[in-house]
Structure formats: C-alpha cells, structure tokens
Amino acid sequence: MPTYTGQRGTGFTSLKQYLGLNEDGARRLGESLYEDVNSAGQRATDAINRGRSDFEAKVAAGTPDAFEEVESADEATKRAEAAKYGGPDAWEPSSSTYQQIQDAQARSRALGSDAGRAALLSERTAGNAGYTPGSVGLDSFLAGRGMGDKAQQSRSQWAGLNDYLGLQRGQAADAVNKAKASADATSGQYSALAKGIKDKEVVAAAQAAQAEQQRKYEQSTGKKVEEVRREAAGPSYDYEEMKGRNGNGGRRDPMYDGPVGYAPHLTGRSGDNRLYDGSGGYYTPDGYTDSSGNFRPGVKPPSMGRAP
C-alpha cells in the first residue's frame, strides 16, 4: 500500500494499516497546518505593533521640544504659548489590522475540527483538480491525528490577540498622556521664566530710577542722601560702639570716658562690657540688671548717640 505523500489522498483497504504507514506524513501535515495558522497570527501581531509604532511616532512629532533657557521675556512667553501638544489623541487600528486578527483567530479555531482543517487544506490546494473532496477529508483526518494537542494550543494562543490589542491600546493612551503632561510642564517652565525675567526687569528699573533720583538730589543740594537720613533719624544707641574698647583702635569709649551730650550719668569700665546707671544697676546687650540682681531682658539704656 502506498504511503502518504502530503500531496493528495490515497485509497486504502485497511484504515489501521494506512494510518500506521502514514504516521510521519500525518505528523508533517498537521505541523504544516499549525505553522500556517501561526504565521497568520504573527502577521496580525505585527500589524498591531506596526500600527502602535506609527501612532507613537505621530505622538512624538506632536510633542513640543524640551525646555531651554532664553534671555528675553517675550521669547519665553512666545514659547510658553507654543508649547502645546499637537499630536493625535487616540489610536484606532486600521480595518486591515482587525481583519488580520479575525482571520488568525478563525484559522486557529479551524484546526480543531475535521471540517475546519479540510477548509484550510482546500484553500492551500485551490486549483488542483486531482485533490478531490474525498482526499481532502482523508488528509484532514490524518492532520488532526498528526498534530496532537497543537490545535488547542493554537486556539488559546491566538484567541489572546484581542487582549494583546487592548494592552497596546492602553500603552498608546499612556504615550499620549505623557506627551500632554510634558507639553504642559514645558509651557509652565517658559511661563515661570518669563515672569522671572520681567520681575528682574521691574526691580532693575526701580533701582535705576531710585539711583537717578538720588543723584539729582545730591547734585541739587550738595548733600549726600545718607547724611540727610542720619540727621533726620537723630541720635541712636549702638552698643558695639558703647562697650569698652578704650585703647583698642584709638576710638573714643563713651562707656569709660562718658558720653558726649547724652545721658551723662551713664558710665562704663574699660573691657567690662557693662553700662552702669549709677544706682547699682547696669545694661548689657541682652537687657538690664538692677541693683538687686533682677534681670529684665531686652531693656536698653537711654539714647546716647554715637561716639564722635
């Protein structure tokens, strides 16, 4: 009895004998149909990946460039307004992609039945007049025995194409959200930069105007502004100048020598860092201690003026 060749069905007188003789041929035929279905599934997967990749390229093209420093507030404002997302909002796979998904799933289901495998075999041998319906039916039976559990594996694998498509849709949506967030952040950076530049310009203009006013005043009065301010403020107490430094740098020590023109009853001792009030109490930078030793923080002596 001739063995199975993979090209056409073969007549037989004993099914058991025929199956035994054609075991390798059945296995090869089953694996061949299984690989055909896998190729269809891979084409659908590639179509999904390609569609998502093309979509994300458009998302990237619609995303504004990253922030960079500019010197002008006007330029920063212009860039803030221009930093808007201009890409697509959602990915919709093409009708061709949907068709390839449906085709792969239909083929994977067909592997699980004699009729389905027969349809796949007839499609493969279309135009071969010698490949009769009887031969197709017999080869479909052989292929089913030859592929074992691969029909169920294929069906489970390619039924997951819908889930895979959903996952890619989610990742495409994430890409859009990230691009929009990036655009908003860039726009915000340029807006903050423009405000910072304008604030500095306002401060600089105010300082320049103040300096010009001061220059004009000093020019018209012949007096320095700081001198006028000191005269207007009157005498003030400066502990650093009042504390004992006699003989240190040659400055007059009003604590030791007595102040000139102010509170003459207050005296000090060289190097003591205390200012005595004549009643047993004394002042320090931290406050006043009376003759009984009671300390009152923050109390300062009467105005003494600066040492000449």
CA pair distance 115, 132, nearest whole angstrom: 14
Strands 282-284 and 295-297, bridge-based pairing: unpaired
Residue 257, token pair as written in the block: 């020598």
Question: Longest C-alpha distance within the chain, in Å?
Answer: 142
297 DSSP β-pair partners: 287
Q: Which of 119, 170, 118 is nearest to 141 (CA)?
A: 118
Instruction: Using the predicted structure, report yes or no on whether residue 232 has a pLDDT greater than 50.
Output: yes
Q: What is the pLDDT of residues 151-199, one digit of tens each?
A: 888 888 999 999 999 999 999 999 999 999 999 999 999 999 999 999 9
Q: Which amino acid is at 193?
A: L
Three-class SS of 227-241: HHHHHHHCCCCCHHH
Query: Cα separation of 124 and 267, whole Å?
Result: 120
Whether 128 shows a pLDDT value over 50: the answer reads: yes
pLDDT confidence bin for 286, thresholds 50/70/90: confident
User: In which band, very low, low, confident or very high, does the pLDDT at 303 lie, cut at 50, 70 and 90?
Assistant: low
What pLDDT is recorded for position 140? Answer: 80
In the predicted model, what is the mean pLDDT of residues 201-230? 80
One-character DSSP codes across the chain? -PPP-SSS----S-HHHHHHHTHHHHHHHHHHHHHHHHHHHHHHHHHHHHHHHHHHHHHHHTSPPPP---S-HHHHHHHHHH----S-S-----HHHHHHHHHHHHHHHHTTSHHHHHHHHHHHTTT-TTS-HHHHHHHHHHHHHHHTTHHHHHHHHHHTHHHHHHHHHHHHHHHHHHHHHHHHHHHHHHHHHHHHHHHHHHHHHHHHHHHHHHHHHHHHHSS-HHHHHHHHH-----HHHHSS-TTSTT---HHHH--SSS-TT-EE-TTT--EE-SSS-EEETTEEE-TT--EEET--PPP-----
Please state which of the ranges 143-152, 164-173, 196-205, 226-235 shows the lowest mean pLDDT: 226-235
Sheet containing 295-297: give its strands across: 267-268, 275-276, 282-284, 287-289, 295-297
CA 253 to chain centre: 64
Work out the mean pLDDT of the chain and round it to a whole number.
78
Show the tokens assigned to 216: 């004009």
Residue 243 pLDDT class (50, 70, 90 cuts):
very low
Per-residue pLDDT band at 18 (split at 50, 70, 90):
low
Residue 78 pLDDT more than 80?
yes
